Every structure is written in structure tokens, then in C-alpha cells.
């Protein structure tokens, strides 16, 4: 059995990951509405990844004989004043999620729960990549976003992102 606090944090993370998927779908819808289909695609794929993360946390809990409780998912619904707003909000959100993952890791470490620490190693690495990607998008937008032709190219680049299943298998 897992430590009670670790178990609670893992269960909360299921909700946080589903919320991340919801948030990124909201970004995707915003861009689709603005005619930036590539940006919309990029966040739709990101939402699929977040759903996968939620499923992995759920599966891990179940593999360890823990009951999963699904809570209500918060409404995203932020208003965006410019194309760069979701990019910035996405980066901040990933930093927040990194903090959550690290907090679970810390609790697992305290409980000497080496199994959970090993499970979380994949997420620690994943968060590093997600922060880099999110920050990279902001940088690209700052460089090219104000020129319509460059924005068109950037949108085309983001349209090429395809979903692939997570490398972590439980």
C-alpha cells in the first residue's frame, strides 16, 4: 500500500492533469476561432498528452491497489487579449505542474516510497521538456509573431505536430 499522503497527492494529480487537458483544449479552441489552425493543432495534441498523463496516474494508483476518486474539473475560461496570452499562460501552467510533481516526489521521498519515486522520474523529465517547449513557443512568437508572413509560417510549423502515445508504459 502507498503512503496516505502520497496516495492523496497522486489522486489530486489525476485531476490536475485532466484540468491541463481541458486548459489546452480551451487554448486550442481560442486559436481555432482566430483562424490559427496550427496553434490550435499544437494545443490539441498537448491536450491529448495531458489526458495520457492523467490516465497514467490513474493506472499507477490502480496497479497499487488504490481507489481512484475523480473530482470536478475546474472551468478554464480565461479571456485572451492577444495571440501570445495562451502561450504565456501555458508556460506558467507547466511551471505550476512541475511544482506539483516535485511535491509528490518530495512526499514519496519522505515516505521512502521508492516505487513512486521511480514512477515519477518519467514525469520529472517530461516536465523539463514541456517547460522548454512552452518557453520556446513564447520565444518564437516574440521573434516572428508580429510579421503576418512569419506568423503564417509559424502556424504551418505548429500544424505539423502529431500525437504520439507516451513512452511510459505501466
Instruction: Enumerate binding residues for ligand FEO (CB under 6 A).
Output: 17, 20, 50, 53, 94, 97, 130
Nearer to ligand FEO, 12 or 144 (CB): 12
C-alpha cell at 41: 493543432
Output the residue with the shortest Cβ distance to ligand FEO.
Answer: 53
Nearer to ligand FEO, 106 or 128 (CB): 128
C-alpha cell at 49: 498528452
Nearer to ligand FEO, 18 or 35 (CB): 18
- Contacts of residue 103, Cβ cutoff 8 Å, sequence gap at least 6: 9
Q: What's the CA dihedral at 76, 77, 78, 79 to 10 degrees? A: 160
- Contacts of residue 24, Cβ cutoff 8 Å, sequence gap at least 6: 43, 44, 46, 47, 50, 90
Distance of alpha carbon 136 from the chain centroid: 15
What is the length of the chain? 170
CB of 92 to ligand FEO, least distance (A): 12
CB of 67 to ligand FEO, least distance (A): 22
CB of 98 to ligand FEO, least distance (A): 8
The residue with cell 515516505 is 111
Nearer to ligand FEO, 26 or 130 (CB): 130
DSSP state of 72: P
Nearer to ligand FEO, 30 or 57 (CB): 57
The residue with cell 510533481 is 101
CB of 94 to ligand FEO, least distance (A): 5
CB of 19 to ligand FEO, least distance (A): 10
Q: CB-side exposure of 56: number of CA atoms within 13 Å?
A: 21
Amino acid at each position: 500500500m502507498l503512503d496516505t499522503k502520497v496516495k492523496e497527492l497522486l489522486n489530486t494529480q489525476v485531476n490536475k492533469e485532466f484540468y491541463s487537458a481541458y486548459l489546452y483544449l480551451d487554448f486550442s479552441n481560442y486559436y481555432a476561432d482566430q483562424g490559427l489552425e496550427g496553434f490550435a493543432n499544437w494545443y490539441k495534441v498537448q491536450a491529448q498528452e495531458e489526458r495520457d498523463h492523467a490516465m497514467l496516474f490513474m493506472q499507477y494508483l490502480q496497479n497499487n491497489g488504490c481507489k481512484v476518486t475523480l473530482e470536478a474539473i475546474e472551468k478554464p475560461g480565461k479571456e485572451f487579449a492577444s495571440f501570445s496570452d495562451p502561450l504565456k499562460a501555458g508556460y506558467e501552467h507547466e511551471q505550476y505542474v512541475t511544482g506539483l510533481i516535485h511535491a509528490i516526489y518530495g512526499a514519496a521521498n519522505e515516505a521512502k516510497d521508492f516505487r513512486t519515486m521511480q514512477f515519477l522520474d518519467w514525469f520529472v523529465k517530461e516536465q523539463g521538456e514541456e517547460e522548454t517547449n512552452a518557453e520556446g513557443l513564447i520565444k518564437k512568437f516574440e521573434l516572428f509573431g508580429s510579421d503576418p508572413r512569419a506568423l503564417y509560417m509559424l502556424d504551418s510549423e505548429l500544424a505539423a505536430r502529431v500525437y504520439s502515445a507516451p513512452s511510459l508504459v505501466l
